[in-house]
């Protein structure tokens, strides 16, 4: 067992991004910039990929063309989750943790050299694909802007000397899209509805290495955190009205006042607001993207609401 936030095989810091299958990369990139307020970072046309970011990491959200060269062979449909991605401290930890997990009997789907980051992909017991990655380049903007066509060489953990230092930015420069309707600071967490809560929490703690908030014991939801001690993943028990699967991505905005203004602006612009609520001091506004994926923006009036503060029936829309 390693010291730190969890006793898992890995020790992720936080959620880095979600990647969604989309019908039309152009449409998604445009909507996320003009409406949701996240800038285009770069594109990878050879794989049918598009990536948006406000500077927190190289991408807060990634898009994969459902009918493109990566999506088509996987039978992807627009609006499906491709994967969630969790950031590790550095590549050395990624490599060491990978071999520890493999030795313990964990199997993974694939490993990939993304040039700026090295990644390991696995599948959780619910079928959700997760990526564990470490940045290997700090100045990602130099390597990732515009159209990127650099091929991705074969990579197995450890076949290149692992980068020892942390390459994420402690205090990233966050940009703002002034003309957009919403103004998120960054992606913070993803919400997934699960069929078997106990099994899913066990996997995310023991294999992925997130730490479960003990205050969620006995509740229909679980809050999982990385070593940054922020919510990275919310799991919610499936019910008759809520089927298992990816539910939404959550993005923090600067203040409740700004969020209220954005919600009004969205309505005036004809963008349907799926949900808007103030609960336990947290304001949340949900909208759908062009592929029907839910995006939730939130801001707190005071401290972050705790698991015991929240009405369990609203937790999926509040936490």
Closest CB to Fe ion among 19 and 80?
19
Q: Which stretch binds Fe ion (CB under 5 A): 80-88, 147-155, 254-262, 289-297?
A: 80-88
Q: Which of these, 34, 9, 23, lies nearest to 76 by C-alpha position?
A: 23
Closest CB to Fe ion among 233 and 266?
233
Q: Which stretch binds Fe ion (CB under 5 A): 3-11, 17-25, 120-128, 211-219?
A: 17-25
Q: Which stretch binds Fe ion (CB under 5 A): 38-46, 67-75, 84-92, 295-303?
A: 84-92
Of the candidate residues 35, 38, 85, 250, the single one contacting Fe ion (CB under 5 A):
85
Q: How far is the CB of 59 from Fe ion (least distance, A)?
A: 8
- Is residue 19 near Fe ion by the rule CB under 5 A? yes
- Is residue 64 near Fe ion by the rule CB under 5 A? no
Q: Which stretch binds Fe ion (CB under 5 A): 82-90, 160-168, 234-242, 284-292?
A: 82-90
Of the candidate residues 87, 126, 131, 291, the single one contacting Fe ion (CB under 5 A):
131
Tokens of 107: 């199997």
Q: Catalogue the E-assigned strands of 151-280.
A: 184-194, 211-212, 221-225, 231-237, 245-253, 273-279
Closest CB to Fe ion among 85 and 319?
85
The whole-angstrom separation of Cα 177 and Cα 180 is 6
User: Given the DSSP bridges, would you call strands 294-300 and 117-123 parallel, antiparallel or unpaired?
Assistant: unpaired
Backbone angles phi, psi at 141, to 5 degrees: -65, -35
Q: Among positive and negative, which fits the CA dihedral 239, 241, 243, 245? A: negative
Q: How far is the CB of 112 from Fe ion (least distance, A)?
A: 9
Distances (CA, A) of 103 to 9, 60, 100, 159: 10, 32, 5, 17
Q: How far is the CB of 65 from Fe ion (least distance, A)?
A: 15
**Cβ–Cβ under 8 Å, residues 49 and 70:** yes
Q: How far is the CB of 109 from Fe ion (least distance, A)?
A: 12
Other C-beta atoms lying within 10 Å of the C-beta of residue 286: 19
Closest CB to Fe ion among 134 and 285?
134
| Chain center to CA of 265 | 26
The residue count for binding Fe ion (CB under 5 A) is: 3
Q: How far is the CB of 238 from Fe ion (least distance, A)?
A: 25
Closest CB to Fe ion among 82 and 262?
82
Closest CB to Fe ion among 53 and 284?
53
- Is residue 117 near Fe ion by the rule CB under 5 A? no
DSSP state of 239: B
Distances (CA, A) of 61 to 83, 120, 212, 221, 251: 10, 18, 24, 24, 10
Judged by the rule CB under 5 A, the positions of this chain that interact with Fe ion are: 19, 85, 131
């Amino acid at each position: 067992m390693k010291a730190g936030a969890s006793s898992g095989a890995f020790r992720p810091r936080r959620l880095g991004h979600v990647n969604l299958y989309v019908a039309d990369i152009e449409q998604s990139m445009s909507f996320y910039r003009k409406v949701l307020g996240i800038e285009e970072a770069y594109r990878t046309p050879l794989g049918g990929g598009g990536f948006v970011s406000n500077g927190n990491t190289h991408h807060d959200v990634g898009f994969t063309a459902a009918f493109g060269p990566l999506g088509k062979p996987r039978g992807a449909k627009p609006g499906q989750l491709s994967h969630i991605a969790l950031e590790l401290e550095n590549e050395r930890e990624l490599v060491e943790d990978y071999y520890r997990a493999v030795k313990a009997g964990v199997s993974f789907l694939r490993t990939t050299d993304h040039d700026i980051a090295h990644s390991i992909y696995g599948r959780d017991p619910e079928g959700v694909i997760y990526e564990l990655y470490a940045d290997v380049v700090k100045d990602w903007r130099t390597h990732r802007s515009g159209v990127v066509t650099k091929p991705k060489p074969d990579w197995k953990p450890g076949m290149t000397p692992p980068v020892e230092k942390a390459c994420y930015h402690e205090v990233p420069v966050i940009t703002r899209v002034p003309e957009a309707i919403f103004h998120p600071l960054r992606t913070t967490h993803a919400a997934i509805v699960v069929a078997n809560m106990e099994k899913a929490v066990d996997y995310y703690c023991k294999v992925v290495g997130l730490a479960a908030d003990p205050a969620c014991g006995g509740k229909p939801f679980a809050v999982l955190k990385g070593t940054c001690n922020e919510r990275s993943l919310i799991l919610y028990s499936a019910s008759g009205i809520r089927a298992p699967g990816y539910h939404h991505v959550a993005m923090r905005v600067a203040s409740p006042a700004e969020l209220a203004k954005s919600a009004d602006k969205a309505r005036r612009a004809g963008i349907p607001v799926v949900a808007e609520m103030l609960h336990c001091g947290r304001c949340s506004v949900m909208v759908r993207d062009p592929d029907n994926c839910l995006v939730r923006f939130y801001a707190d009036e005071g401290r972050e609401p705790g698991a015991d503060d929240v009405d369990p029936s609203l937790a999926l829309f509040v936490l």
